[in-house]
């Protein structure tokens, strides 16, 4: 595992670039812990100051220091992406492995649920969800909701791998060695699925951050927790671009784009490197 990572860093440009980009973003988000201001206080600094030594990213029309505010926002956004990814990976993993391993009726039942989730339109559902929940809307709730919507495609992928693992003889050897179903899934099959899990994690984080930003910009989320999307939402509310306060939009967008590219590079390079075909043979 660590060796793979080291080799990747050393030999794979894309991977290294991705790590550097994400490293910068992550380091920046950690700065939020040292912020002199709580994120939701406004008018703590003079409004509408362009980037300068005192305020490296300028200040907003609401009198917030964008540098510190952005560190909170990116932290929340990253956290959001990770929570969604972890929850939806867990769902995809359990459902994919169980469906593939059990086969028959269980498989058919799980996969028909799965297919329903693949075809339902995400965006309207999320908007609807917002209107239903309205006052109770929070970031955690949205993450949960998106996790519930984001597992289906990958579960199918994992299931198809599990399906072929089930027919391999070593699964039978496991059964006749007295291993429990859980043990077989976790110890025998999981290693084959991990590469898929890793690369889909990156894609999933990207997807959920993208969706969250879109929803926030349109105001369909909890606008009191600063995330990148919420920041952009407020900037639009104050017609920042028209007023010439470009930095209010520029820095959030820059950070999101860096995150996207970083994750994308990681996903691509991992996909190449951990191609199961080169690992699953007799080696």
Partner 1 sequence: MSGALLDVDNVVRTYSGGLLTRRRVTAVDGVSLRLDAARPEIFTIVGESGSGKTTLARMILNMIAPSAGTIRFDGTDLATIRSSRARLAFMKRVQPIFQNPFESFNPMKRLDRYLFATGRRMAGLSDTTAIADAADTALRSVGLSLAEIRGRYPHELSGGQLQRVAIARALISKPALLIADEPVSMIDASLRASIVNLLRDLRDRLSVSIIYITHDLATAYYISDRIMIMRHGKAVEAGDARTVLDDPQHPYSQLLKQSVLSPDPQHRTVGRQGGSSHA
Partner 2 sequence: MGEPVLVVSDLRAYYRTSAFGIEREVRAVDDVSLTIEANEIYGLAGESSSGKTTLIKTIAAAIQPPLEVLGGSVVFNFRDRRVDMHGVDRQHLDAIRWKNLSYIMQGSMNVLNPVRRIRHAFVDFAFRHIGKPMPLFLAVVREHLERLHLAPEVLDAFPHQLSGGMRQRVTIALATVCRPDFIIADEPTTALDVVVQKSVLAMIHEIQRELGSSIIFVTHDMAVHANLTDRLGIMYAGRLVEEGRTADIFRAPRHPYTAHLIASLPRLGDSAPKKGLDGAPPNLAEPPSGCRFHPRCPRATERCAREAAPMASLAPGHRVACFYPEPERSA
Ligand X SMILES: Nc1ncnc2c1ncn2[C@@H]1O[C@H](COP(=O)(O)OP(=O)(O)OP(=O)(O)O)[C@@H](O)[C@H]1O
Q: Which residue's Cβ lies closest to ligand X?
A: 283
CA pseudo-torsion sign 56, 60, 61, 62: negative
**Candidate residues 125, 168, 224, 278; the one interacting with partner 1 per rule CB under 8 A:** 168
**Candidate residues 170, 224, 239, 254; the one interacting with partner 1 per rule CB under 8 A:** 170
Q: Return d(Cα 32, Cα 96) in angstroms, integer.
A: 38
**Beta carbons within 8 Å of 36's beta carbon, 6+ residues apart:** 68
**Candidate residues 177, 224, 239, 278; the one interacting with partner 1 per rule CB under 8 A:** 177
Q: Return d(Cα 172, Cα 53) in angstroms, integer.
A: 67
> 255 in helix, strand or coil?
helix
Q: Which stretch binds partner 2 (CB under 8 A): 106-114, 134-142, 164-172, 191-199?
A: 164-172
* β-bridge partners, 59: 65
Shortest separation between residue 49's beta carbon and partner 1, angstroms: 57
Q: Which stretch binds partner 1 (CB under 8 A): 20-28, 55-63, 118-126, 163-171?
A: 163-171
Shortest separation between residue 164's beta carbon and partner 2, angstroms: 4
Identity of the residue, 6 or 168, whose beta carbon is nearer to partner 1 in the bound complex: 168
**Candidate residues 17, 144, 179, 218; the one interacting with partner 1 per rule CB under 8 A:** 179
> 37 in helix, strand or coil?
coil
Q: What is the dihedral of CA 114, 116, 118, 124, to 10 degrees?
A: -140
Are 77 and 212 spatial neighbours (Cβ–Cβ below 8 Å)? yes
The one of partner 2, partner 1, ligand X, none whose footprint includes residue 277, by CB under 5 to 8 A per kind, is: partner 2
Identity of the residue, 7 or 41, whose beta carbon is nearer to partner 2 in the bound complex: 7
**Beta carbons within 8 Å of 132's beta carbon, 6+ residues apart:** none
**Binding status of residue 106 toward partner 1 by CB under 8 A:** no
Identity of the residue, 238 or 279, whose beta carbon is nearer to ligand X in the bound complex: 279
């Amino acid at each position: 595992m660590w060796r793979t990572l080291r080799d990747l860093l050393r030999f794979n440009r894309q991977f290294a670039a991705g790590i550097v980009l994400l490293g910068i973003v992550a380091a920046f988000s950690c700065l939020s812990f040292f912020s002199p201001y709580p994120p939701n206080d406004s008018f703590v600094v003079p409004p509408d100051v362009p980037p300068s030594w005192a305020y490296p990213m300028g200040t907003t029309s609401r009198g917030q220091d964008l540098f510190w505010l952005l560190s909170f926002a990116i932290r929340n956004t990253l956290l959001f992406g990770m929570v969604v990814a972890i929850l939806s990976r867990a769902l995809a993993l359990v459902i994919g492995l169980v469906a593939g391993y059990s086969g028959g009726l269980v498989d058919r039942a799980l996969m028909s649920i799965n297919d329903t989730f693949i075809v339902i339109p995400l965006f309207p559902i999320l908007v609807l969800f917002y209107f239903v929940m309205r006052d109770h809307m929070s970031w955690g709730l949205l993450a949960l909701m998106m996790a519930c919507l984001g597992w289906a495609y990958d579960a199918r992928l994992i299931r198809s791998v599990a399906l072929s693992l089930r027919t391999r003889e070593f699964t039978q050897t496991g059964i006749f060695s007295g291993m429990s179903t859980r043990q077989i899934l976790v110890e025998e099959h999981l290693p084959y699925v991990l590469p898929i899990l890793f690369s889909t994690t990156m894609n999933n984080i990207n997807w959920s951050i993208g969706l969250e930003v879109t929803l926030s910009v349109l105001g369909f989320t909890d606008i009191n927790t600063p995330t990148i999307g919420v920041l952009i939402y407020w900037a639009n509310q104050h017609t920042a671009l028209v007023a010439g306060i470009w930095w209010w939009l520029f820095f959030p967008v820059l950070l999101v784009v860096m995150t996207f590219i970083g994750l994308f590079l990681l996903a691509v390079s991992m996909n190449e490197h951990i191609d199961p075909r080169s690992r699953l043979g007799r080696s």
